[in-house]
Structures are given as C-alpha cells and as structure tokens.
Amino acid sequence: MRYRRMPIEIESPEQVGYANIRCNLTESSVSDMRLADLNLDLGPLVLAYSDHLGKPELRQLLVAGITGFTAQDVLVTASAAAALFIIATSLLDQDSHLVVVRPNYATNLETPRAIGCAIDFLDLEFEAGFRFDLERLESLVRPETRLISITTPHNPTGQTLSTAELQAVVALAERRDCHLLVDETYREMNFAGPTPLAASLSPRCISVASMSKAYGLPGIRIGWIITRDPALQEIFLAAKEQIFICNSIIDEQIAWQVLSRKAEILPPILERNRRAFETVKAWMGQQEDIEWVEPSGGVVCFPRLRPGVDVETFYRVLNSKYGTFVGPGHWFERDRRYMRLGYGWPSASELAEGLTNISLTLNETKE
Ligand SMILES: Cc1ncc(COP(=O)(O)O)c(C=O)c1O
C-alpha cells in the first residue's frame, strides 16, 4: 500500500480549524448533532469489546423490513470510510481491475490507487448533466474487472440513479461477473425517496453507508457493509478484525439508540435539508457567473464558475475577505472552476450569508 494524504483531508475544515471559518459551505453532511440534545442513556454501558460483526440489535435495525435479510448480512464498521477501505483491500490487488465513477468521495479513488490495481474511470461531465453513461461503463469493464464502484446519491454532484438505472448497473455487474460496490451513504437523502438497498438487488452488490451524513453523527464513526454473500462478508469480517477487532461500544450504542428513534429524528432533518436546498436553488436562479446541474439528492451540489471569473482571485477573496469556504474542484480531481457547495450543514443564516458572500466575491472578481 502506498499512502498519500488527500487534499480534501489536508484542507478540511476540521484541519483548518472551524474557528477560522465564518461561513462553512464545505461540508457534505447535515449539521452535527450535539450529544446532550440526543437524550441518550449511556450510563449502564460496560466498556468491553463488542460483537465483532457489530451490536446485533443495531445490525437488526439496519435491515429491518428488507425481505430475506437478517442481522448476519450486516457488518458494522468504524465509518463508511473504513467500510470502503475494507472492501477495496479485500477485493483488489495489483493484478485486478476496477471501474470507478469520478469525481467521487476521495477514498473511493485513493485507496484503490494505494493498492496499485488497474483503474478505469467513468467520468461524469457537467455538459451531460453528470449523468451515468451505462454504455460507456460497459465498455470499460474487462475480463479481469473485479469491482465496479459507484456512488448514489452522488458526492459531489448530488445526482441520483433511478431504481431502473441502478438495476441496469446491477445487471451489468452480474453479466460481466464482477462485484458492484454501491456507496449509498446518502441513500436516505434522495429527494424522491430512497432507492432499494443495493445489496437487496443481487448477491453481487455490496452496500455501504453510515451515520455520518443523514444523521449528522460523523463524530461517532459508525458505518456498515451489507451483502448477501456470506463468503464475502467473512473476508470483510477478517479484515475488520485485523484492523480494529470491533467497534467502539459507545459509538454503537449511540447509533442504535438514534436509529431506534429514526421516525422521530430523521424527518425534521430531511425537512431542514429541503429548505436549505430551496435557498440554494433560489440563489442559483439569480446568478450570472456561476452555473449548476440541479441535484436530486444529498446535501451538496457541484456548480462551476463561468468563463470571465478569475478563479484564483475568486477563492482568495472569498476565503480571506469574506471568511467563506466551499470545496474547491481540486478536492475532486477537477478544475478549480468547479466547487462543491454544501448546503445542509450551516445554519439557515450562515448559508444565506455564505451565498451572499459568493455573489459579492463574483462581482469583485469578474475580469
Ligand atoms: C459518498 C461518501 N462515502 C463515504 C464517506 C465517508 O463517510 P464516513 O466515513 O464519515 O462514514 C463520505 C464522506 O464524505 C462520502 O461522501
């Protein structure tokens, strides 16, 4: 493995220091929850090792209502990032081939690179509305392709695959005899409602998600892998045991208690996110110097500056004069003309101020 720090992590707000940012439009989650507001009962917890697959009641909840699934099909991991690492290192080696969507959450690209496998990228283009080109995907798959890796709802574009499109990718993976990783960390944040759990569509599918984005709990580091292939799950469990044995029992307990109250906790979060999205949409409608592909899920979008804006001056003025930060395109291996704009994390007033600051900066940096 050849590790290299990624720009998105080096320049992340938690590394820059939240106190140094006035308007934070860089985040890809909803607002972080405060422990005290969750009203949890953690006192009786014994701080022992926990079940290596993950707390059984938590695993049970994660597949509740999905026909044919049991808690055995779920492996709890220390975040979606850890899940993705486990899957990549279990399935890929220097002789295997991966097809992965780009841009993407950086780890989906970087861990396979660190492994040294052959990679082909399915590039999503602004001009094509960041849509998935299934024919192109098929053309990239080779006999030695071990894994196809997609993300829906997508980070950073906020685009989503319909159930029919997802089924078509699943059929392709089955036809070409490879595994399909679906990073569905934002599944519950699809504006049209969640598509089926990918793992329920085929034993070839591996679903990954976490508590970080929709529930605003990135600080507990709880994610999971769901697959109906027990042999594969056994390999993932072996990897987990070698990396961290089991999860933090405190984190699992928090995740379980929050998920037990999903019907109470999730709807207000989604409603707040919907209002924030409407704010961005209304603002975008008034902009001349920035254009976007309207997202259909998640908490982020990936607009770009039109020609005529000096890109480097734009970021300098936005950051230093207005204390406003967005995720610049190079975090996603794209031109810095693109930016990820996260609207779900800031308060309504911080979002409004941040958007105004972008407009003011654009007025000042037009060539
Ligand atoms: C698509 C996607 N997958 C996975 C992750 C990792 O999330 P976590 O490790 O906090 O669960 C992120 C974080 O930005 C993401 O956007």
CB 207 within 8 A of CB 227: yes
Q: Is the peptide bond between 156 and the residue preceding it cis, with omega within 30 degrees of 0?
A: yes
Residue type, 197: L
**Could you give the 3-state DSSP secondary structure of residue 340?**
strand
Q: Is the peptide bond between 13 and the residue preceding it cis, with omega within 30 degrees of 0?
A: no
- Partnered with residue 88 across adjacent β-strands are none
According to DSSP H, which parts of the chain are helical?
A: 7-10, 13-16, 35-38, 56-62, 80-91, 106-115, 134-140, 163-175, 230-244, 249-260, 262-284, 311-316, 348-365
Q: How confident is the model at residue 147 (pLDDT cuts 50, 70, 90)?
A: very high
Regarding the beta carbon of 80 and ligand 1, being less than 6 Å apart is answered yes
Tokens matching residue 112: 């396979």
Give the total residue count for the chain: 367
- DSSP letter string over 147-170? EEEEESS-TTT-----HHHHHHHH
Which helix (H) or strand (E) segment holds residue 56: the answer is helix 56-62
pLDDT tens sequence across 309-357: 999 999 999 999 999 999 999 999 999 999 999 999 999 999 999 999 9
Q: What's the DSSP call for residue 144?
A: T
Q: Is the peptide bond between 346 and the residue preceding it cis, with omega within 30 degrees of 0?
A: no
pLDDT tens sequence across 93-111: 999 999 999 999 999 999 9
Using the mean position of ligand 1's atoms as its centre, give its distance from the Cα of residue 34 in Å: 20
Residue type, 212: S
* Arithmetic mean of pLDDT, 275-291: 97
Angle at 300 (CA atoms; ends 277, 272), nearest 5 degrees = 35
CB 329 within 8 A of CB 13: no
pLDDT tens sequence across 191-236: 999 999 999 999 999 999 999 999 999 999 999 999 999 999 999 9
157: number of Cβ within 10 Å: 29
pLDDT tens sequence across 244-262: 999 999 999 999 999 999 9
Regarding the beta carbon of 149 and ligand 1, being less than 6 Å apart is answered no
**Could you give the 3-state DSSP secondary structure of residue 213?**
coil
Average predicted confidence (pLDDT) for the chain: 96
Regarding the beta carbon of 152 and ligand 1, being less than 6 Å apart is answered no
Look at residues 276, 277, 271, 296 and name the one whose alpha carbon lies nearest to residue 191. 296
Residue 16: predicted pLDDT:
85
Phi, psi of 252 (to 5 degrees): -65, -40
Q: How distant, in Å, are the alpha carbons of 1, 190, 352, 353 from that of 281?
A: 42, 16, 12, 15
Regarding the beta carbon of 331 and ligand 1, being less than 6 Å apart is answered no
Q: What's the DSSP call for residue 294?
A: -
Entry pTM: 0.97
Regarding the beta carbon of 207 and ligand 1, being less than 6 Å apart is answered no
**Could you give the 3-state DSSP secondary structure of residue 303?**
coil
- Partnered with residue 291 across adjacent β-strands are 304
Residue 367: predicted pLDDT:
73
- Alpha carbon distance 35, 206 (integer Å): 31
Domains and CATH numbers, the chain: 7-28+265-365 (3.90.1150.10), 42-260 (3.40.640.10)
Q: Are strands 145-151 and 97-102 parallel, antiparallel or unpaired?
A: parallel
Using the mean position of ligand 1's atoms as its centre, give its distance from the Cα of residue 80 in Å: 5
